[in-house]
Structures are given as structure tokens and as C-alpha cells.
Structure 1
């Protein structure tokens, strides 16, 4: 698929959405390449809690790592777009103001990512999710590229709306909830420590941040019994 195939690619996805297809009809690797991005993710905004990573290229760890960082640290472009309902951009993370994302920015600069755009998926005034794109080269995104991302985001929202609720809950038959293990681990901690799910999630995030670990890795260790979080962890 050549780079100038983007209009045809978007047309095929529009047709897929009309026939009831979900996000599995769109391959993240193709979308990233045609949109001239190095990684692209789509996160679902649940009723409570941070955005849930739902769709990304399984062969590219960059987008997933950056979304996990934001969940662990509680700040970043995807979270800002979800909170404000506005598109969030940063042309160069390496020169960004430390006041904007004091924890996320230095952590993101340890990855190859430099430029980012987070585009909210809006249902009227309600934010249903966020499409986030990353580039490893710094610099502002050209107007045409931003317009293409906006067009893709509209179609991605249509595909998201056709995703069956059971697929979102279980990861079967469609896109996958990337952090299912995190929620499972929070449930384990909630029972073990007699605390709320929200407090259990905060405890997981705090441990991941203090020990510079990926949140899914901490969750996996809790589930398998290799890590027992208590007041001393």
C-alpha cells in the first residue's frame, strides 16, 4: 500500500463502518504509515478512571509504552485530550516546558518519541476516546497531516461505536483492552488489602513509578504472586 493510498484506505474504512465493522477492520501499522506517524494508538474513555488503550500496532511497542507511562504517571497528551476534549500537540518533547508534563516529558524522552498529537473522539460534547499519534522526528505537524489525522479519527470513532460491548469487556472478537491485567491485579489487591478498586489502582501506579517499572509488568507480578503490595511497598 503506497503512501498516496490514504484516500482509498479511508474510503475502505468508511465502507467497513457502514457494514458494522469494528476497529479490527483498521490495522494500526497501516494507519500509522499512511498518516506519516511512527506509532498510533486509540484509547477508550471509560465512565471512571484513565483512558484504556484499546487499539495499537502489536508489533510496535512505542505507542503502548507511552500510553502506559501516562497511566502510571497520571499526566500526558492522551489524558489532557480526554480531560479537555481538545486536540493536544507537542512539536518537540525534548524542548517542551517542564511545567506542562513534569513527570511524563522526561520519561517520554527516554523513548525515541519526540512529536505527539492527541485527538479526542467526540460524540457531541462527550469524549468517547482519544486517537494519539507519535513521531520520532521533532517538529510541528503540517496542516495537511493534521487534517488527515482528523479524518481518520472520525472514521475510527464510527468503528469504535460498532465494537460490541462484550468485545470491549473481554478483548474477544475485536480490539483488545491492553490493561486487562492491570484491572485484574487491582481486583486482587482490593480483596487482599480490603481497599477500594480506585485505591488499588493508585497503589499499582505508585509502585510502578517508584521502581521505574511498566504498569502491566507490576500487575502481572501481583497476579502471579511474585509481588505482594502492602503499606511498605
Structure 2
């Protein structure tokens, strides 16, 4: 992340070169498909990066992540289900949230998220809000499996990346999005919204209680929310009215 001794200019700094490429992509109208989570994470000495958008209801919708690091998606799911955690706090407070060791977090800070997160390999998290107008439009979150302080400058560099990612996010359609490798980037939880809609019809309740019921079932059974939603859509499980 720092320029080697004797070298000058962004061409000698891989992360600066990445930012330059992403700014150029943003300036030409590209969207989040122009950015690689794996590449950015490696240059920032992180095990992974995710980006969530903040919905009108204040929920976090996973939009950008590395498919090879599904454990990170599970952590984002936890924060979505429980409504607490570093990314959730960053979205609510509009400021960076840094956790260098999940095992040392006071038990009353995230009473539901912390014990669930500790069942994953992740031990350090840094969440940076993407501020747009009066509040966060999204949250860029870095994860690391080893506890301890982040490398010097990590928060600053993530902040620089967040500025570029915000511009790319603003140019990203909230639907299927073709990436350079032919894959698709879409709202991760479209199936959750679909399952919520099914529950509103099946149980005759409003979308808010339906989503709460879905989240409660996932938490109670220690399952990823997306997995439960898919079972609802496929009629493999049927929930009772709250």
C-alpha cells in the first residue's frame, strides 16, 4: 500500500494504480463490474472485501463480493439478519468502524452477532461508509482471518477506495449486471425479497413482519438467510404466522 523506497509516483504503487484505473472506469460510465474484490483485498492486505448498499429501510444489501469467499457473504448475512455488527454500525453512524479482534469485543456491543461471527474464521473487520448527501449509501467492508491491528494506512486507503466505489455504485443498475468475465452481479438478496413476498401472501401479513419472521427463522435454526429464502421459494419449508 505504500510506495517502495526510491520509487515515486502511482506507477510504482499497485494500489494507487488500481485507484487510477477505477477512476478512469468511473469517469467513462462503468459500474461495479469494473472492480475486482479479490484484487483490491490483496493489495490492501485483507482476506476479502464486500460492498453493501443501504436500503430505504436501513437494511444492508450485499451487492459486490468475491464468489470464492462465501464466508464473507455469510457474515454480511448475519448482519442483515441480526441488524447489528460493524457494517451495520457504519451504516447507522456514518463513520468507520474498526474491530481488530472479534474475541475481545465487549459482549454487550453485538450480543447476537459476535458469538455467531466467532463461528467463522474471520477475526478482524473494518467497515467504511460510502457517504452520499445526508448519509451512507453503502458500506465497504474489509475482512481478515488473523486478529491484530490493520496495516498502517489501511483505513485511509479504504477511504480512498470508498470514494471511487461510490461513483461506480451510483452508476450500477440495481438488477442483473454483466461483468467482464461473463458472470452476473445483482442484488444478492433478490431471493430474500421474493421469499418475503411469498410469506405476505401465504400468511396474510405485511412485508415488514414477513421479513422479520424470515430473519427469526434463519437465526433460530443457525442457517444463512439466503438458504432459508430459497427453501421458501421452492416450498421446501412453510412458516407459521407470527
Aligned to 1:9: 18
2:167 equivalent to 1:158: yes
The 5-angstrom pairing of residues 65-104 of structure 1 reads 65-104=74-113
For 2:157, what is the secondary structure of its paired residue? Answer: helix
The structure whose residues are more often helix, as a share, is 1
Greater mean deviation of Cα atoms: 142-151 or 59-68: 142-151
Cα shift readout 1:136-194 (whole Å, capped 9, x = no counterpart): 11112234111111111111001001113xxx1x3234631111111100000011111
Contact 2:33-2:177 at 8 Å conserved across structures: no
Distance 2:76 2:98 in 1: 15
Aligned to 1:201: 211
2:181 equivalent to 1:171: no
The 5-angstrom pairing of residues 29-178 of structure 1 reads 29-164=38-173, 168=174, 170-173=175-178, 175-178=185-188
Distance 1:179 1:22 in 2: 19
For 2:95, what is the secondary structure of its paired residue? Answer: coil
2:194 equivalent to 1:184: yes
Cα shift readout 1:32-87 (whole Å, capped 9, x = no counterpart): 11111111100011112411000000111121010001111221111111111011
Distance 1:154 1:143 in 2: 19
- Work out which of the two has the higher radius of gyration on C-alpha atoms and give 1 or 2: 2
**How many matched pairs?**
226
Aligned to 2:8: none
Contact 1:39-1:62 at 8 Å conserved across structures: no
For 2:177, what is the secondary structure of its paired residue? Answer: coil
For 2:130, what is the secondary structure of its paired residue? Answer: strand
Distance 1:17 1:147 in 2: 20
Q: Could you say what the CA RMSD is over the residues aligned between the two structures, in angstroms?
A: 1.4
